[in-house]
Chain A
Amino acid sequence: MTMTVNVDIGGTFTDFYVGQDDGTTLLAKSPTTHYDLSVGFLKGIRDLARIKGLSLTQFLNNTDSVRYSTTIGTNALIERTGPKLGMITTAGFEDTIFLGRGRSWADGLSSTVNKDMSRIQKPLPLISRDMIVGVRERVDSFGNVICPLNKEKILEKLQILVDRGAMGFVVCLLWSFMNPEHEQMIKTIIEEEYPEDFLGSMPVTLSSDVSPKSAEYTRFITTTVNAYIHGVMADELNKLGVELRENGYKKPLVLVHNTGGMKKVSRTRAVLTHNAGPVAGLHGALTMGKEYHAGNIIFSDMGGTSFDIGVITGGRLKTYDFIPVIDRWRTNIPAIEIKSIGAGGGSIAWVNRLMENSLEVGPRSAGSMPGPACYDQGGKEPTVTDADLVLGYLNPDNYLGGKMLLDPDLSRQAIDHYIAGPMGISTIEAAIRIRRIVDAKMGQEVFNEVSLKGHDPRDFVLFACGGAGATHACGFAPYLQVKKVIVPSFSPIFGAFGASTVNCQQVWEKSRTFKVFQWNTQSYCEDIDGFNEVINTLTDHAVRDLKLEGFEKDKIRFRLELDMRYGMQYNLTRIISPHLNIGTPADFKDICDKFTEQYAAVYTPEATFPMGGINVECFFLTAYVEIPVPGMRQFEPGGRTPAESARLPYRKAYWSDTQDFRDTSVFAFSELKAGNRIEGPALVEAMETTYVIEPGWRFSLDIFHNAVLEQV
């Protein structure tokens, strides 16, 4: 039997989902080992092998592919463990990355920190000013060479960077996305001077390769971030690859991308791995949503460190983030938008003395080390998990299936010392408030995310995922007034499950302006060849790339998206093009109609402005090969009433309707059958999570063994 192992590294836990030939699945969770991610990775794989009754080698021998969404790159950025880089740019543009764009100094900061103008600091640059040199050259906005490069001058500047300790080069020239000739020449010169067989050989990253798009700041930053994390990621992934191979794995490691696809490590750009885990989760929700015929889905994932939100409308992942921020850096990668806030099981509760001793939760997290106080790993501060334990929702002897024993006394001590004491309230009252605050914070954030995009949350199905999703779903769902909450049986490891559903895919992009509609002449673009040439170039790149992944050309599917805007306007609107290639000018009309429709949906029909003409500014070609995803396993129905064997001993838990603790029914998830219904208040204990069914809510298990929570 072969297996696909999917791994998602989170801030607190590393999640594992294994899909097997026969449709059965295996799940595991192990603490994320920030000191060396491969330790937690291999520990989880060992656990899976043990569950399967195999040795590690036997297990990996039978593994068809390992798909991995990693935070190695992001960690390298946060911890600043990347190499010293030198940048070569067009003379006069040496300060581009320091000038930034508008409020770029606030990029990546939470809204609370953002408001504290007196303390806010610009991030330390990834490349210091003395490591940036300008060379005399110029390509104009049409791609014509106005001022040629001088090799001697480049060698001179190169020497300056090498003398100052450069360990790699980033080449970002003006208009290089129109004509990359000069960037490529610089790369050739560097490779001639520092050939690969010399110890001094240094990697060269070109902006025209990494980000062939307009706007210098984001292009320069995207290229810099990619170069900065490339080496660290390559080392870590090579090490992991070696460890896997030594233990019997024979295939290449596959990385999940933040574009909703996956590629082999050898064919992946480092910058595309940022935030891939939550994007994989969103993709999983899309796949699972199809089983429910749900086109509008709010995806939420409450883990240990963060709460991630994604929105699916009309059954498509079409909401792209136009300015994805990685750490503190505004980039222009074509990533799928996921919003994250610091709210999770490990979020630390604290008393804000500057705000008259008000209680706050997060964004700081206890992470996996030291973790919540109840983990008994030396953590002192109270967290959301501690509050859940004190309120009786979590079973201290059956957390993570009993793999981790929790100490409720430590939770009580922590809440008492840090919250109840300073606020002059009881420990229980403090725990209740911690839970309510985190639920309100998440509920409000989801509401904002959906309603501010012009949607009515009541038209959506809410997917509550993550290790703490099932525990808090009834707490934050009322803020949205959604009719149905689905808590998938894989919810605690949903990011890993999502990784199993992604296709082999890459987005190829290119900035190029075409005036596709002229208002004054009421005519459409006539440069059909020019337009098609851009698409064909991207298609050629995509085909070559996916062939190297081992796929035949006829298996490759394409989707063309275009960034468009009205003439004289600034903001871009992305559409899915109805045509992959243009045959006649009438095809441009279809594109313009689609744009008008999309623009009207976002900004209202009254806001359309055809008088300005319509421009295409950027091309995105998504090339993908569909990887068959097995349908969800269906279970035999077992009636409405849970079997007696599913009942566990009653436990005292706090419920808001009576404002007191009372004996509460507890059920074992593993013993429940499809069709079983449980009225709240009740608790359902699964291997990796606990479902908290508040009074007034009903829990039913559907044929996929996913829990459906509804207010009754």
Chain B
Amino acid sequence: MESGRERFKLFLNQSPLFRPVFIPFIRGLLSRIEDRPMETLTADPALWANSLEKATRLFGFDGVVAGLDASLAARACGCRMEWREDRPVVLPLQGSPDETPDQSRPMQLGLEVTKRLFQICQKDMACISALTGPYTLAEQLFGKAPSQKHMDGIKPLLVRMTKAYCETRPDVLMFMEGEALTLTGIGVQHRRIYNTLKNIANYYNIPVGLYLQDYRSDSIHSVSSLNMDMYIAGPCADQHPLMPSTVWDLGRGTLGLGIGLPLDDLETAKEILCQGAALYRDKPGHGVFFTSMGPVTRENNLETLHALVNEISNLILKGDIL
């Protein structure tokens, strides 16, 4: 049987998939499995990397996502952070951002986790690195609607962090953006900053994905002009699950689409899966993979998660070709 990594490679090579790839974003779940607060877990790179691997193997997911910490890039740039209810909260930046975020302690820690994780997982699992996108990072650093000057200042910082993450050699580098990206519509400036980041990743031969959350569902198609290698649709602003048919065209000309599954609603998840499979068969042209709608937290029902993994595996038994 093919490994998760082989399956994901088929997706990246746009070869036929015989079973969907499922790579949920695990975060809070780790603290439940390890029975330790996230604050403790994330302070120790070995523990963090091992628990990510352990959780992924426990549920039989196809890959791991490293760097799934929305506060990491902001902290690397000099923001302080507080833990509230075991969740990191970024505090506004005092002064100007650190010019060498890739050398900062939080980023070094994050990179160390990524390296360790990929070292142990790269044999049989897909390895994805996540990094906060420029618009969300600018919002974290400078507040809502940052100026063009702020964006110009953000670019060299992200260039450094992107290079650092590319050097860990992930299969995909994913930028995480919230509503800040689509707030003013996608324009030339958005394309310029993303072009630079794509060029860097291209040098390392790494496809670039864009993970979107908290967006208005009517604005999601506007991101297609960024010409990313793949788009991953997370939860939209109203938290309703997005049906594959509504975003399918966003994948045109890309390697494929990532679609979030609601982990607490098995029936809807099944519906999304079936629709995704049908679209893959009926409207070929790009691949598809499934992820979680937002990070898997400690509150998620583990039984539902197991059931979902079974459901995805069963698509083979049913003879579905996805």
Q: Which residues of A contact B (CB under 8 A)?
A: 31, 33, 35, 39-40, 43, 368-370, 375-378, 404-405, 407
Contacts and interface: CB of A to CB of B under 8 A. Distances in A.
Interface stretch (B64-72, B117-125, B197-205): B197-205
A39 B201 CA distance: 13
B205 A376 contact: no
Given A375-B199, A376-B195, A376-B196, A39 B204 contact: yes
Nearest to B196: A376
B180 to A, nearest CB: 22
Contact of B200 (A35, A43, A378): A378
29 contacts: A31-B203, A33-B203, A33-B204, A33-B205, A35-B204, A39-B204, A39-B205, A43-B205, A368-B203, A369-B200, A369-B203, A375-B199, A376-B192, A376-B195, A376-B196, A377-B159, A377-B196, A377-B199, A377-B200, A377-B203, A378-B156, A378-B159, A378-B160, A378-B163, A378-B196, A378-B200, A404-B199, A405-B195, A407-B192
Contacts of B159: 370, 377-378
Given A377-B159, A378-B160, A378-B196, 17 more contacts: A33-B203, A33-B204, A35-B167, A35-B204, A39-B204, A39-B205, A43-B205, A368-B203, A369-B163, A376-B192, A376-B195, A377-B196, A377-B203, A378-B155, A404-B199, A407-B192, A407-B195
A33 B163 CA distance: 13
B208 to A, nearest CB: 13
Nearest to A40: B205
A676 B163 CA distance: 46
Interface in B152-168: 155-156, 159-160, 163, 167
B296 to A, nearest CB: 32
A216 B121 CA distance: 50
Contacts of B204: 33, 35, 39
A357 B251 CA distance: 52
A106 B79 CA distance: 48
B3 to A, nearest CB: 15
A33 B159 CA distance: 17
A43 B202 CA distance: 10
Nearest to A369: B203
Contacts of A375: 199
A40 B156 CA distance: 24
Interface in B196-236: 196, 199-200, 203-205
Contacts of A370: 159
A369 B203 CA distance: 8
Interface residues of B, number: 14
A615 to B, nearest CB: 54
B171 to A, nearest CB: 13
B199 A376 contact: yes
Interface string B139-152: 00000000000000
A407 B156 CA distance: 16
Interface string B120-138: 0000000000000000000
Nearest to B15: A55
Contacts of B167: 35
A606 B199 CA distance: 62
Contacts of B203: 31, 33, 368-369, 377
A43 B195 CA distance: 20
A33 B195 CA distance: 19
Nearest to B200: A377
Contacts of A368: 203
A404 B196 CA distance: 12
A411 to B, nearest CB: 14
B164 to A, nearest CB: 12
Nearest to B201: A377
A402 to B, nearest CB: 14
Interface string B240-262: 00000000000000000000000
Contacts of B155: 378
A31 B163 CA distance: 15
Contacts of A35: 167, 204
Nearest to A378: B159
Contacts of A43: 205
Contacts of A378: 155-156, 159-160, 163, 196, 200
B195, B199, B203 interface centre (most CB from chain A within 10 Å): B203
A666 to B, nearest CB: 25
Contacts of B192: 376, 407
A35 B164 CA distance: 12
Contacts of B160: 378
Nearest to B160: A378
A375 B199 CA distance: 8
Nearest to A404: B199
B301 to A, nearest CB: 41
A239 to B, nearest CB: 14
B200 to A, nearest CB: 5
A40 B205 CA distance: 8
Nearest to A405: B195
A632 to B, nearest CB: 34
A35 B156 CA distance: 20
Contacts of B205: 33, 39-40, 43
A378 B200 CA distance: 8
Nearest to A403: B202
Nearest to A377: B199
Contacts of A377: 159, 196, 199-200, 203
B155, B156, B200 interface centre (most CB from chain A within 10 Å): B200
A405 B227 CA distance: 13
A39, A368, A376 interface centre (most CB from chain B within 10 Å): A376
A369 B160 CA distance: 12
A375 B200 CA distance: 9
Nearest to B162: A378
A40 B203 CA distance: 8
A370 B160 CA distance: 11
Pairs of residues from A and B, 8 with the lowest C-beta to C-beta distance, nearest first: A378-B159, A377-B199, A376-B196, A376-B199, A43-B205, A377-B200, A39-B205, A369-B203
A227 B63 CA distance: 41
A129 to B, nearest CB: 34
Contacts of A407: 192, 195
B33 to A, nearest CB: 34
Contacts of A404: 199
B111 to A, nearest CB: 14
A33 B192 CA distance: 23
B207 to A, nearest CB: 12
B156, B160, B192, B199 interface centre (most CB from chain A within 10 Å): B199
Contacts of A405: 195
B159 to A, nearest CB: 4
A375 to B, nearest CB: 6
A515 B204 CA distance: 59
A368 B163 CA distance: 13
B227 to A, nearest CB: 10
